[in-house]
Amino acid sequence: MKIDPFDHRLTPARADIAADFLEADIDAPHYVSGEACRVLSGTLSVREAPDPAARQSTELLFNERFIAYERKDGWAWGQNQSDGYVGYVREDGLGPDTEATYSHEVQALRSYVFPEPDLKSIPLDMLHLSTRVRVSDTDGNYSRVDFSETGGWIYTPHLCDVTEVEPDYLSTAELFMGAPYGWGGRSSFGLDCSALVQLALARAGITAPRDSDMQEAAIGEIVEGGLDAAQPGDLLFTAGHVMFLAEPGMLLHANGHHMAVAYEGLADFMHRTRDMDIPIRTIRRLPSIPEME
């Protein structure tokens, strides 16, 4: 499977406007250089159209870099620089690009940001797994991070150094057990199948595309031999869906059947989808992970 290099999900171009770096490849009446921004809140929804009722296509996390090519009527249209996804976000969810060097990453599923190093204070927001921050100070069990104009405080054990990875991406994926299925979501408040893969691999230091078809085309190496050759940690793809093989005969995936991140027996999955014409068509293997105990 190949992805169109000018796939609309990854190409900041519309009929009326395009990013200036596309000028040699795409015809448009107007080219713009774009404005670098950063996400100000714990999560920021990306919509398919500049309308709060439009479907969510993906979600940005705090401090992710976003290039805005248009600002209009309270919306910004542009491209996420983490995975290249294009869409519309609320303009007030963006702030200036600080060009910060991030020192730490959230390793917990989610963590409150407090206005002071006190768990009884009213949280400002919540940051999510794989979010990167800059720590500027510590106070007891709390670290001061670059949140809002005044800064905020996060429980230090919920952070790790940006160089510290968790190679066992299955263990990371398991942290999301029971998290609700949410189309386009990228946090434990709600996420879809490809986001579960993307976030688990991010903690392992592996950059993954956003959608399952992109992952099917790009991640790891193809496993020949079908399901008989699959090993724990492999990614199993059907049309529009991706799953981890957690152990022989057992899947781990975010899915609309359970409306959650859940384990499911491979045989059970095959049985309930037998009339849906969605066979497991691709198996991909990632770098080896530690033996599961």
27 and 92 in one domain? yes
31 and 118 in one domain? no
In a domain, 6, yes or no: no
CA 181, chain centre distance (Å): 14
pLDDT at residue 149 in the model: 84
144 and 174 in one domain? no
Average pLDDT per 10 consecutive residues for the chain, totaling 293 residues: 82 97 95 97 98 98 98 98 97 91 96 98 98 96 93 97 96 98 98 98 96 96 96 97 98 98 97 92 84 45
> In the chain, how many domains are there?
3
Tokens read off for 182 = 């949410």
275 and 176 in one domain? yes
Tokens read off for 78 = 């542009």
195 and 173 in one domain? yes
- Domain span holding position 121: 104-161
pLDDT at residue 287 in the model: 78
249 and 191 in one domain? yes
pLDDT at residue 229 in the model: 97
253 and 152 in one domain? no
173 and 279 in one domain? yes
118 and 85 in one domain? no
**Which residue among 96, 123, 152 closes a domain?**
96
pLDDT at residue 96 in the model: 94
In a domain, 292, yes or no: no
pLDDT at residue 2 in the model: 66
Q: Where are the beta strands (DSSP E) in 140-223?
A: 142-145, 152-155, 159-161, 186-187, 190-191, 221-222
In a domain, 2, yes or no: no
In sign, the C-alpha dihedral spanning 201, 207, 208, 209 is positive
188 and 271 in one domain? yes
91 and 75 in one domain? yes
Bridge-based pairing of strands 152-155 and 132-133 is unpaired
In sign, the C-alpha dihedral spanning 22, 28, 31, 36 is negative
In a domain, 108, yes or no: yes
In a domain, 175, yes or no: yes
In a domain, 11, yes or no: no
Whether the model clears a pTM of 0.85, i.e. scores above it, the answer is yes
CB 153 within 8 A of CB 113: yes
In a domain, 224, yes or no: yes
113 and 87 in one domain? no
Query: Which residues on adjacent β-strands are paired with residue 56?
Result: 47
Report the CATH number at residue 38.
Answer: 2.30.30.40
**Which residue among 131, 161, 191 closes a domain?**
161
pLDDT at residue 189 in the model: 98
**Which residue among 96, 118, 144 closes a domain?**
96
In a domain, 30, yes or no: yes
Report the CATH number at residue 194.
Answer: 3.90.1720.10
